[in-house]
Structure 1
């Protein structure tokens, strides 16, 4: 009998309470900043976790070997990365577990776990436990529980991650000393990690204080006074953030002299929770789940407001838009009933970026993700009709797409962007305050509220 006919569900090993102490949980990377902070939270709860960083052809090859080639590209990469890590010899195969997310919606990501079970069986790793990371009770693991306190702390880590990503992207293209923004990100990840170890950094007062210090510290990095092409990145959530998924798109855009804006993960989280509440309201469902979702949404709104308020109050960086504002932007273009994959929020993010001045947009489209081809590539013409200055290029990511072709398409978009900038955006002069040293020991030109990095 071939493995295709084996009951994969029965063959999976459950992650138990006894395994929690000794097993290392491998997490596929998506956004390095956020996942580094998530790692710190999980470790506070006694889990031993490692974020996978392995890349290269071997990852894609393992994915193609064990996942059918008509499945979406993110599934192929995530499963390929996990099996490649298991093949590396780095881990004790009797003391390792894997974790994978399940959205519970119409996206095929809900079925990744079943694809992974089948792949592990074929690869000879059927003894390795798989943990489902979901808030809908889709899979049961006695050794891994998503409690409300843990969820809240992960949301706080998400808040810090969004803030660090936002500010790094606005400073990095202009920094005088290369690596300053990345070093500051590392400082804050380590600093927040130490706070998490002592159960600090989670209270409202502590969050506000940390966000204030984060904003001020990035405002004190020395920067060049020059104008660069502003580029937004949207798309399916994995290829939007993952360096493995988008062939290091952010690094490429930086090398092309661009400033990047990537909408935070917070917006997607709020979109997901909002969808679950709407579904229960319309179609019925558990009152307990509705109450839990409402509570999570309450905290998400609060944390989102903290980010926006801190950026506006302590700097002149561009703050993110609120979730409610995003919903209003999509009203004339796409119905809120379009909620498969990234749904209407992807379209709204493109409109928001255009209105914020990031009218040059890369829309990342993974192979096999039909919903995002509709709400992403399918909405470009409509957006251009309303916003003629929108300069959007859809880029397909799949095993057969070469990095050279992807980058050449982006370069064509950037050439149009530079022409538009020369015509419509004359260079503006600005002044920089005196050099000083902040409380973190970071020397640099302090960017006051009257200035913005790069303007």
Structure 2
């Protein structure tokens, strides 16, 4: 009898993984998104040097703690560490994790990778058309639920209404993704309208709170574990937060990394995929705007708007997307931007923080950066966020 392998995936994309996990669902794998938090930093620091990137410490701590928990059959468990495959330290996570897992006493547990740069192909998880199609739908559905939840929850008259609406749709969409049912573009477009209408129908107070745009490195931007629950802190402090969707990052990655690949046919294929994604992103944005909610324009439009304020040569890690989203927020009326990055992350410190003063001169607004690291305290991060919240409201 062939056993299904448990595929353990560390927390990364809180809004997307409840749906994205079904991309890995198959006869071979049972995906498990890890949500364990207790002492994961301490466990990670036992096996990863503290000079390594904070997300690497947390990912390693989560995975090893899960293996130590006794909840999984180790003979039928694998770990998945996705990687963008560029000069970012994140490209070393897979090998670092392998060493840590062996050192922790689990040499039988295989560490798989997922990247589009043909790196470590011997341990690359198999990519099927069904997997890609499910991920494609999960990308836009996750974006929509992320954007709407963050804009409704701070104003809901009944506590928990936005989260219940979000979870209802996670259930509906998740069952469709798992069963590979209703995965048609026409259904997706209909869902855009249905979901936005459902959130728009939630009774809200009508007050106007300070909106804080969030930018930064992928993990610290989208994962509550990586940013010390910053979204919750902002909402508890009387603010509305806005985190841009993952589809903007995917289009940035295609634009900056894949559309100019060495293989001309491969590059042309990625450009065609990018064109399709941007058309669907435009449809999603239209549905959001029609329901009266805020969002940034498509990546192509956003680049045109910030040209002259942001340069597009730097494409390591999150690269020019950080400054582009920061400038975009300010130009579209979100005058306060919170940039969260791992301490020592060179793309964020050079390409991001290095431009914040220039962007404030050119665009106005205010940008405050926060470093996340195992040696730092969440209290310091909250104090810097409060400094941004309490800044001159006339900006």
* TM-score, normalised relative to structure 1: 0.83
Question: Helix, strand or coil: the match of 1:94?
Answer: helix
Q: Provide the C-alpha distance between the structure 1 equivalents of 2:191 and 2:98, rounded to a whole number of angstroms.
A: 41
Question: Helix, strand or coil: the match of 2:8?
Answer: strand
1:325 matches 2:281: no
Alignment partner, residue 396 of structure 1: 371
1:171 matches 2:157: no
How far 1:188 moved relative to its partner?
Answer: 0.4
After TM superposition, the structure 1 stretch with the greater mean CA deviation from structure 2, 61-70 or 341-350, is 61-70
Alignment partner, residue 68 of structure 2: 87
After TM superposition, the structure 1 stretch with the greater mean CA deviation from structure 2, 291-300 or 26-35, is 291-300
Check the 8 A contact 2:78/2:109 in 1, yes or no. yes
1:414 matches 2:378: no
Q: Provide the C-alpha distance between the structure 2 equivalents of 1:201 and 1:108, rounded to a whole number of angstroms.
A: 38
Q: Provide the C-alpha distance between the structure 1 equivalents of 2:149 and 2:122, rounded to a whole number of angstroms.
A: 37
1:215-254 alignment to 2 at 5 Å? 215-254=196-235
| Equivalent residues, number | 395
Question: Helix, strand or coil: the match of 2:193?
Answer: helix
How far 1:44 moved relative to its partner?
Answer: 5.4
Gap runs ≥5 in structure 2: none
Question: Helix, strand or coil: the match of 2:165?
Answer: helix
Gap runs ≥5 in structure 1: 1-17, 425-455
Aligned pair in 2 of structure 1 residues 409, 131: CA closer, same or farther (>3 Å)? same
Q: Provide the C-alpha distance between the structure 2 equivalents of 1:330 and 1:114, rounded to a whole number of angstroms.
A: 37
Check the 8 A contact 2:338/2:367 in 1, yes or no. yes
Alignment partner, residue 35 of structure 1: 17
How far 1:250 moved relative to its partner?
Answer: 0.4
1:257 matches 2:238: yes
Alignment partner, residue 302 of structure 1: 279
1:204-252 Cα shifts (integer Å, max 9, x gaps): 1110111110010000001001110110100001001111100000000
Alignment partner, residue 53 of structure 2: 72
Aligned pair in 2 of structure 1 residues 162, 181: CA closer, same or farther (>3 Å)? same
How far 1:73 moved relative to its partner?
Answer: 1.2
Aligned counterpart for 1:111 among listed residues 61, 69, 92: 92
Question: Helix, strand or coil: the match of 1:224?
Answer: coil
How far 1:308 moved relative to its partner?
Answer: 1.1
How far 1:115 moved relative to its partner?
Answer: 0.5
Check the 8 A contact 2:220/2:342 in 1, yes or no. yes
Q: Provide the C-alpha distance between the structure 2 equivalents of 1:40 and 1:187, rounded to a whole number of angstroms.
A: 17
Check the 8 A contact 1:156/1:303 in 2, yes or no. no
Q: Provide the C-alpha distance between the structure 1 equivalents of 2:263 and 2:84, rounded to a whole number of angstroms.
A: 17
1:311 matches 2:292: no
Q: CA RMSD of the aligned region, Å?
A: 1.8
Check the 8 A contact 2:296/2:302 in 1, yes or no. no
How far 1:183 moved relative to its partner?
Answer: 0.7
Instruction: Please say which structure displays the higher CA radius of gyration.
Output: 1
Check the 8 A contact 2:19/2:170 in 1, yes or no. yes
Aligned counterpart for 1:367 among listed residues 334, 343, 346: 343
Check the 8 A contact 1:103/1:110 in 2, yes or no. yes
Check the 8 A contact 2:113/2:123 in 1, yes or no. no
1:274 matches 2:255: yes
1:356 matches 2:337: no
Alignment partner, residue 7 of structure 1: none
How far 1:255 moved relative to its partner?
Answer: 0.1
Q: Provide the C-alpha distance between the structure 1 equivalents of 2:182 and 2:115, rounded to a whole number of angstroms.
A: 24
1:95-115 Cα shifts (integer Å, max 9, x gaps): 211001111111121111010
1:387-423 Cα shifts (integer Å, max 9, x gaps): 23x121101110111111111111111111xx41xx5
Check the 8 A contact 2:296/2:329 in 1, yes or no. no
Q: Provide the C-alpha distance between the structure 2 equivalents of 1:327 and 1:33, rounded to a whole number of angstroms.
A: 25
Alignment partner, residue 267 of structure 2: 290
How far 1:312 moved relative to its partner?
Answer: 2.8
Question: Helix, strand or coil: the match of 1:196?
Answer: helix
Question: Helix, strand or coil: the match of 2:79?
Answer: strand
Q: Provide the C-alpha distance between the structure 1 equivalents of 2:45 and 2:190, rounded to a whole number of angstroms.
A: 47
Runs of 4+ in 1 over 6 A off after TM superposition: none
Question: Helix, strand or coil: the match of 1:33?
Answer: coil
Check the 8 A contact 2:260/2:267 in 1, yes or no. no
